[in-house]
């Protein structure tokens, strides 16, 4: 019996064409065609509108630094971890390079795609970048890394302070304002990671078994402590290399995430517990400005104190914004 299949509609053919073009662009290391079309259409229209996830206070502060927001940009990467170690013969104490390398590669591809979107805008940098990444896991074979930020144009900076590619920074508007006025500039988001597997030895097994017979009192589990220190040192070394590769002076706003996963398995009806220790370090690298940003003269701000019915001089609005960007209003501080 012959079946007649309905041919694809023009809409379906166009959808498949777009999907194939998107995959080919990703394989070439480029951004998605639809994202490129959207940005090019925006620029061609001549519209002076922009989009950002920064708050109104943050926007006011970065404008004072000569920063013009252009639009929100994003880069994302889903990366598969290849088969690395699931059977007993491959269990050993040491760094699990498959997990760490996959996270580094996913991060690099996501950030590069975000920079390419910013480059289409003609941006000099990306500020207020938010990072979303999946948690390293022994049983998982998938890594996700997504970076979202605001592409910006810089005005009033020395040309030597602008690199050939957009800078990236995790700092919010308040931190960015303080950094620029202190004579520094952001360079790039830096990253260090180490996934360290600890195959427990016999003394450690004796200490961690729940049997009362083997309980030897309160003791430090030296092998696990040593593994944690080793993971930390390797993650920090990776971050230091990242800072040096970008020619930065140092790193600020660093966050460190520590994950410890119990890996349980049985051999000959005997239960064993190993550890997977993952330490991730993330921050914004910075360096000195060639020509420090010119500080703006601020006029005092006068407000009416409703309690005393008097005018009170409290400084400038910018001073209030940079003081605590999370405050709901500045009047509450002057009751």
Q: What is the per-residue pLDDT for 209?
A: 67
Q: Are strands 125-133 and 167-168 parallel, antiparallel or unpaired?
A: parallel
Least confident of 24-28, 91-95, 171-175, 312-316: 312-316
Does residue 215 or residue 260 have the better pLDDT? 260
Residue predicted with more confidence, 309 or 88: 309
Helix, strand, coil proportions of the chain in percent (round to 5)?
Answer: 35, 30, 35
Q: What is the structure's pLDDT at 88?
A: 40
Q: What pLDDT is recorded for position 315?
A: 54
> How much of the chain exceeds pLDDT 90, in percent?
12
State the average pLDDT over residues 205-227.
72
Q: Is pLDDT of 87 > 50?
A: no
Average pLDDT, the chain: 78
CA gap 234, 193 in Å, rounded: 7
Taking only the tens place, the pLDDT of each residue in 50-72 is 778 788 888 888 887 788 888 88
Q: What is the pLDDT of residue 235?
A: 93
Contact indicator for 272, 200 with CB cutoff of 8 Å: yes
Better pLDDT: 296 or 263: 263
What confidence score (pLDDT) does residue 327 get? 43
pLDDT at position 93 is 85
pLDDT at 108 over 60: yes
Which segments of the chain does DSSP mark as H helices, in order?
Answer: 10-27, 33-45, 56-64, 97-120, 173-181, 202-208, 222-245, 317-323
pLDDT of residue 234: 93
| 3-state DSSP assignment of residue 287 | strand
The answer to whether 188 and 246 are in contact (CB under 8 A) is yes
Buried b (16+ CB within 10 A) or exposed e, 65-81: bbbebbbbbbbbbebeb
Overall average pLDDT of the 300-324 stretch: 60
Q: Structural domains in the chain?
A: 50-288 (3.30.110.70), 302-334 (no CATH)
- Reply yes or no on whether the pLDDT at 236 is more than 90: yes
């Amino acid at each position: 019996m012959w079946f007649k299949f309905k041919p694809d509609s023009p809409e379906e053919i166009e959808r498949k064409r777009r999907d194939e073009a998107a995959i080919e662009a990703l394989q070439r290391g480029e951004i998605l065609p639809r994202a490129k079309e959207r940005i090019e259409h925006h620029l061609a229209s001549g519209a002076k509108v922009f989009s950002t996830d920064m708050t109104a206070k943050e926007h006011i502060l970065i404008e004072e630094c000569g920063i013009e927001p252009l639009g929100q940009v994003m880069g994302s990467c889903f990366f598969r971890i290849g088969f690395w170690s699931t059977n007993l013969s491959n269990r050993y104490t040491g760094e699990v390079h498959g997990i760490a390398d996959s996270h580094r590669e996913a991060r690099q591809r996501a950030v590069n795609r975000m920079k390419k979107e910013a480059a289409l805008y003609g941006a000099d940098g990306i500020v207020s970048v938010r990072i979303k990444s999946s948690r390293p896991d022994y049983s998982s074979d998938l890594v996700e890394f997504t970076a979202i930020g605001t592409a910006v144009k810089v005005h009033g900076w020395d040309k030597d302070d602008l690199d050939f590619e957009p800078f990236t920074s995790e700092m919010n508007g308040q931190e960015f304002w303080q950094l620029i006025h202190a004579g520094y500039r952001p360079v790039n988001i830096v990253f260090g990671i180490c996934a360290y597997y600890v195959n427990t030895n016999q003394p450690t097994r004796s200490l961690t078994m729940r049997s009362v017979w083997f309980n030897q009192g309160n003791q430090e589990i030296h092998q696990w402590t040593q593994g944690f220190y080793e993971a930390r040192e390797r993650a920090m070394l990776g971050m230091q290399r990242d800072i040096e590769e970008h020619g930065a002076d140092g790193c600020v706003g660093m966050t460190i995430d520590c994950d410890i996963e119990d890996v349980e398995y049985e051999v000959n009806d005997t239960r064993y517990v190993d550890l997977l220790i993952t330490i991730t370090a993330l921050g914004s690298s910075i360096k000195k400005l060639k020509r420090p940003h010119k500080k703006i003269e601020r006029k005092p701000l006068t407000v009416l104190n409703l309690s005393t019915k008097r005018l009170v001089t409290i400084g400038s609005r910018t001073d209030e914004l940079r003081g605590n960007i999370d405050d709901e209003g500045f009047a509450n501080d002057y009751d």
